[in-house]
Amino acid sequence: MREGLGGGGSPYRSNMSETDRVGSAPASFDWRARPTRGGVQGGTEKVELEEFNPHLRGHLGKTTPRSPDLDLNLDLPVLSSRAQHDKRLGFKEPFDKSSGQSWAQLNESVGNMEPVGTLLRNTTEGVVIGDGGFVFALEKRGYVKAGPWTPEATCENPEAVIQLHREFLRAGADVMQAFTFYACDTKLDNRGNDAGQKFTGKAINKAACDIAKRVAAEGDALVAGGLSQTPTYLSEKGKTVVQEEFKKQVDVFVQEEIDFLICEYFEHVEEMEWAIEVCKKTGKPVAATMCIGPQGDLHGVSAGECGVRMVRAGAEIIGVNCHFDPFIVLDTIKLMKEALEKAGLKAYLMAQPLAYHTPDAGKQGFIDLPEFPFALEPRVITRWDAQRYAREAYNLGVRYIGGCCGFEPYHTRAISEELTKERGKEAKGTEKHDLWGGGLTMHTKPWVRARAQREFWENLKPASGRPYCASLSQPANWGVTAGSEVLKQQKEATTSDEIKKLIFFK
């Protein structure tokens, strides 16, 4: 069995104490005030990173300590109805018989959270690997338009969506999340988007579920259907209208017999609660992840309170997705976990962060950075960053570990490889990847063969190759949220006059 990132002598070791620091810079290096060529993009002074995000730790900060209360985190995830899962994949006893525990005993050990259902099979210590960022991956491949970010590719180019699902499955993903991001009818028609003229939301959602089920049946995976925030909420149309939008999608998920539901990418906990309420009526397990950082949602609700409200609304799995890098996401989840403990609540913990470093992001995360969305490549995390994220997430008690925008299959494979021991199995894609660069022993050049060792890759600080670029950027920080006039949505395309007004507003 392959050895994960955690090991003796490494700055990323898994046997860490609460006072250990992961990947710490040398003592003489003050990472909080890095001089750059021109300082922060557009400036000339050294910049305190805390000016942008007082909670940020990023890739140079302290480690996330081990969870002292794994019982709180309900280690073994319960995600699908057994009938649905067995029907699609064929039944195989999914728990370790050596433990002597029955399904009933295992469910009792996590608090009898019926009707959550059965445990994900073949995860002896309860680790579920999520997939990656379909929207960004398919935009790069030419199948999604940046701006509206809608998933009509499920109808226009289903083979592209199928292939990406297969790549994540091969990389070790346990869940095929149907490509239903922003697939509500009002988003398909928003600001001149013509997707709604070609396809209904129902057609896109059904195609996405069919594709996800097809690929899941090729391996050992569950299927999830997802809801996201709506233009309707931003335009303050009210709870009834917003929930009608959600119900249209949820009805398709129920008809398609997907395993569980994910409410993801919500900036306002109020809208998240409305989505959870709709999903709970299906009787299916509900996961809920907000795209917020340590400063909380855009209406000023703290991250901890957001976690509490998601659980009280009925979500069995809660956490954070998108907008921030893996380590800021874990900071946010830690705040949620602490709030749950204080409130006496239990839930599974879930993380699906960006694959971009965002130490300089403001409250709204990477969408405020000037590089969003077309110049983010210099910020991409390495596969070693992904491994470290997986280990820190596991130590925090997170048991659903995946990725969002920027996460490619090789990042997912890195997560799977880091947690091979905990999962009790290897990803199929590991056949073509030797951990710590072992395959480089076959390279023709001796200096490349010399890199076939853990010590080299574990301690490498990758250069950007961009000597004239700043290390950090100045986020936009417009401070607008639901209720602001400039956030109200419309069917008509944005005009040049409206763009001029936005420049003036800025």
Tokens of 183: 């697939």
- Does the annotation place 404 within a ligand binding site? yes
Using DSSP bridges, classify how beta strands 78-80 and 118-119 pair: parallel, antiparallel or unpaired: antiparallel
Q: Three-state secondary structure along 303-367?
A: HHHHHHHHHHHCCCEEEEECCCCHHHHHHHHHHHHHHHHHHCCCCEEEEECCCECCCCCECCEHH
What backbone torsions phi and psi does residue 239 show, to the nearest 5 degrees? Answer: -60, -45
Tokens of 295: 């400063």
> Residue 318 and residue 308: Cα distance in Å, rounded?
9
What residues have CB less than 8 Å from 392, skipping those under 6 apart? 22, 63, 64, 326, 327, 330
Residue 3, CB-side half-sphere exposure with 13 Å CA sphere: 11
What is the DSSP code (8-state) at residue 493?
Answer: P
Number of other residues whose CB lies within 10 A of the CB of residue 506: 8
- Residue in 377, 366, 367 with CA at minimum distance from that of residue 408: 377
Question: For residue 37, what is the enclosing H or E element?
Answer: none
- Does the annotation place 263 within a ligand binding site? no
- Residue in 474, 357, 475 with CA at minimum distance from that of residue 58: 357
- Does the annotation place 155 within a ligand binding site? no
Q: Which string of DSSP letters, residue by residue, matches 461-473?
A: ----S-TTS-SS-
Q: Helices (H), strands (E): how many in the chain? A: 19, 10
What is the DSSP code (8-state) at residue 377?
Answer: G
Annotated binding site: 322, 404-405
What are the binding residues for Zn(2+)?
A: 322, 404-405
